[in-house]
Each structure stands twice: as C-alpha cells, then as structure tokens.
Amino acid sequence: MQIVDKGQKRLSGILLAVLVAIAARLMADILPVDFIGANVLAIFTGVLVNSIFSIQNTPFESGVQFTTKRILKLSIILLGGSLNIATILEVGQQTLLVLFFTLSTAFGGGFLLGKLLGLDWKFTSLISSGAGICGGTAISAVAPVIEAEDHQVSYAISNIFLFDMFMILFFPIIGRLLHMSNMVFGLWAGTAINDTSSVVAAGYSFSEQAGDFATMVKLTRTLAIVPVVLIFTALQIWKNKKTTEESQSEVVEMNLLSVFPWFIFGFLILVAINSAGFIPAALSVLLKDISSFLMVVALAAIGLRTDVGAMKQSGLKPMIHAVSTSLLVAIVSISVLAFFGIY
C-alpha cells in the first residue's frame, strides 16, 4: 500500500512537469520569434508556477524530483541515437581545430574568471559547459555528475540563453559586415553560439547553406559532452575523496561503480549503434524528438524545484561570468578562423 501511495505521488509530480513542458512547447510555437526555445520557456514557466504555488512539501515534490534526475538522464541517453561519430569526419579538420581553441577558452578562461569572481566551482563548471559545448543540454548533462543545485542549473541556462539572444540578432549582421562566406559563417556560428536552437536560428538567418553547415558543426560540438562529463566524473570522485580526508574521517575507498554516470554509458552505446548504421533514419529522428521532449520535461521539473530566493542570493557574478565566457568563445572562434586562413 505504501508503494502504491509513493507511486501515485511520483506520478502526480511527473504529470505536472509534463503539463508545464507541453505549455512551454505551445508557447514556443505561438511566439513570433523562433529563437526562444521550449527548453528556456519550460524553466521559466516552472519557476513561475513554483513561485505562485510552491510544490515543496506537497504530493508533487517526489515526482518532480524524480523527473529532474531520472527523466533527464533518459533524455540524454536517447540523444545518442541521433548522433553519428562520422559527423566529425564530414565537417573536416577545420571544425576540430576551432573547437579545440573554443573549448579550451570556455573551460580554461571560465575557470580563471570564476576564481576571479569568487564563484562556486559548480556554477563555473555549468556555465563553462554551456558556453563551450551546447548550452542547456551540456549544463543538464554535467549537473547530475557534479551534484549541482537546481537554482544553479536554472541560473546557468537562463544566463547562457540571454547571451544567445544577443548572438542570434547580431551574428548575421556581423557576418555580412565582414563579408563571410556561408561556410565560414556556419563554422563561426556552430562553434560560438551556445544552444542548438539558437545556432539553427542564426545560421538560417544568414543563408540556407550557412544554416546547414552550422547545424552539422553544432552536432560535432555536441559530442564533446562525452569526454567533458567523464572528466567531471573523475574530478567529482577526487573532490569527494579529498573532502573525506580533510575532515579527518575514516578513509573510505571510493566505489567507482556507485558514482559512474551510467546514463553517459548508455548515451555512448546509442551513438555507437547509430554510427554503425543499425538505427534507421526514421527511428533516429523519432529518438531525437523523444529526447528533445523529455529534456523539456526535465527542465520544467528543474524550474518547478527552483527557489527564486536562492537565485537572487547568487547575485550578478554568475551573469557576468556567463556573458564574459560566451563573448570570449565567440572572439576566439573568429580569431582562430582568421589566424589559420580559414576566414
């Protein structure tokens, strides 16, 4: 009987997150601008609902918490079914060259900037992941590994998105002023703009060819999620062990099996299966659609669990970090293109 009650409470929270996600999807379709994605709208809507009707200590809380953890990981696993390792070869060595410098800037520069601003390392890691890889998807993938707070996830995604709006509006203008070719602009947009929907919006605003190339570059960039999450897993293990030693508690041997992000292992399996050609194109598209919706549901749940008061206490420093890191990535991207004669 207790298990049934627990299941009902969990189901009510999941359904609430689904309803918020559906509302976010509908709003994204209705809005006249196509660069405000359902992911961001889901977070904002969830935050608004929680601010008006707090779900803390209600029957919804258990299911919403379940959604932020399990459903989020499931969405990332299914994303692997739409990615192909061969994409890296298709976009060429030029993309990998630029990505090396932009990722180094996002994490190296982001780390130093975080230290300068005195930010919590989790905040710094989330923002750097979003700016360096793929906005909300990367932030969502890294968050459970480093055990980030919900308000940190919401704040990081929101600030990365704010800068994305700026880039969507001005990237095509700058590209035309600098007389960029379709390939160069696609490469710049794909390696410098954060969220996938924003890359698509900016790319196709420039031209059809630029949009196609920017999307392909962005898919290659998304694959960086895998090594980044594995690196953060190792760092988290080290930090947990160090904390144990510093507190002079008993030295506990870390159990890698208990902390390894198995959802990333599932993601890798699907990437490999899809790369080998065992997933039909129609099924790959379906998996991407399901993954996208589940991601919206998970982000809606994160919004529903977000404490606005805690976000306010974070202050302006995370926003300064997000804008500065994203701007650095954009500048480094175009500088590398110019330095190596690609542009």
Identify the H or E element spanning 293: helix 281-304
Angle at 119 between CA 66 and CA 97, to 5 degrees: 85
Phi-psi region of 179 (alpha: psi -120 to 50; beta: other; left: phi over 0): left
Instruction: Please report, in tens digits, the pLDDT of each residue of the chain (343 residues total).
Output: 455 556 666 899 999 999 999 999 999 888 776 556 787 788 889 989 998 988 887 889 889 988 987 887 888 789 888 877 776 666 666 788 898 999 999 999 999 999 999 988 888 999 999 999 888 778 888 888 888 888 888 888 888 877 877 887 789 889 999 999 998 999 999 999 987 767 877 888 888 788 878 877 887 788 788 788 888 888 877 776 665 554 433 333 444 444 455 676 788 899 899 999 999 999 999 998 998 899 889 889 988 987 777 666 667 888 888 889 999 999 999 999 998 887 7
HSE of 206, CA atoms in CB hemisphere, 13 A: 35
Summarised one tens digit per residue, pLDDT across range 36-85 is 678 778 888 998 999 898 888 788 988 998 898 788 788 878 988 887 77
Residue 202: both structure tokens together: 């900016």
Contact between 195 and 134 under an 8 Å Cβ cutoff? The reply is yes
DSSP conformation class of 253: P
Q: Which residue do the tokens 């690196």 mark?
A: 231
Count Cβ atoms within 10 A of the Cβ of residue 306 and give its class: 0-12 exposed, 13-18 middle, 19 or more buried: buried
Instruction: Give the integer Cα–Cα distance in Å for 307 and 50.
Output: 8
Do 213 and 190 form a contact (C-beta atoms < 8 A)? yes
Burial status of residue 335 (CB atoms within 10 A of its CB: 0-12, 13-18, 19 or more): middle
Token pair for 133: 């890889």
Q: How far apart are CA 221 and CA 223, in angstroms?
A: 5
DSSP class of residue 195 equals S
Residue type, 140: S
Q: How far apart are CA 216 and CA 150, in angstroms?
A: 31
